[in-house]
């Protein structure tokens, strides 16, 4: 099974949003300097610049493939012996189903994969033969990042 989907939904930001981000970041940094924590103020400014750059970058189109060897994401193979469990969430608030995968990898333990152009029941049936199906929910940090459109 092979499909392509965007990593996240792109939300177009107006100039007012970037002005608000800059004003909030400068005010927070000024408060940090007033309370004798200039390093934290600098960290807030750097984070705001990174946040603004990320918000302006459109998502890339990722390719996903399920085969007998494992799950391939953009050419990187994740073998089935590295997958602890999976869950197919049919009713996501954006209307598209998600594949949630929990792995043993240290730097990428969880994958949240949008399923587009393919039946989620076929994905579930294919994975059920090769990995354990456990109910999972989208992690809170992912929901927060999704809320901000990143």
pLDDT along the chain (150 residues), means of 10: 83 88 95 94 95 86 90 89 88 75 82 87 90 85 71
C-alpha to C-alpha distance for 87 and 100, rounded to whole angstroms: 5
> What are 83's two structure tokens?
């997958």
> Does any domain span residue 79?
yes
CA 35, distance to chain mean position in Å, is: 35
Residue 63: partners with Cβ closer than 8 Å, 6 or more residues away: 2, 3, 4, 72, 73, 74, 75
Torsion of CA 45, 47, 50, 54, to 10 degrees: -130
> Does any domain span residue 36?
no
> Does any domain span residue 10?
no
Domain count, the chain: 1
> What are 1's two structure tokens?
């099974």
Q: pTM score > 0.75 for this model? A: no
> Does any domain span residue 56?
no
> Does any domain span residue 137?
yes
> Does any domain span residue 12?
no
* pLDDT value of position 34: 95
* pLDDT value of position 142: 75
- List the CATH number of the domain containing 82: 2.40.50
Nearest to 129 by CA among 78, 82, 72, 67: 67
Range of the domain at 125: 62-147
Nearest to 87 by CA among 120, 58, 118: 120
> Does any domain span residue 44?
no
Q: Are 26 and 34 in contact (CB under 8 A)?
A: no
> Does any domain span residue 33?
no
Sheet (strand 98-103) strand order: 110-114, 98-103, 83-89, 132-133
């Amino acid at each position: 099974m092979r499909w392509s989907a965007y990593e996240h939904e792109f939300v177009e930001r107006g100039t007012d949003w970037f002005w608000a981000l800059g004003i909030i970041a400068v005010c927070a940094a000024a408060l940090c300097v007033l309370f004798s924590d200039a390093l934290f103020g600098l960290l807030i400014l750097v984070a705001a610049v990174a946040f603004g750059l990320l918000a302006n970058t459109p998502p890339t189109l990722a390719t996903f493939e399920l085969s007998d060897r494992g799950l391939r994401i953009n050419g990187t193979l994740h073998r089935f012996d590295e997958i602890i469990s999976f869950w197919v969430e049919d009713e996501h608030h954006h209307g598209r189903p998600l594949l949630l995968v929990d792995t043993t990898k240290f730097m990428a333990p969880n994958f949240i994969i949008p399923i587009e152009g393919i039946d989620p029941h076929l994905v579930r049936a294919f994975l059920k033969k090769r990995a354990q199906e456990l109910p999972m929910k989208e992690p809170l940090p992912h929901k927060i990042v999704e809320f901000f459109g990143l």
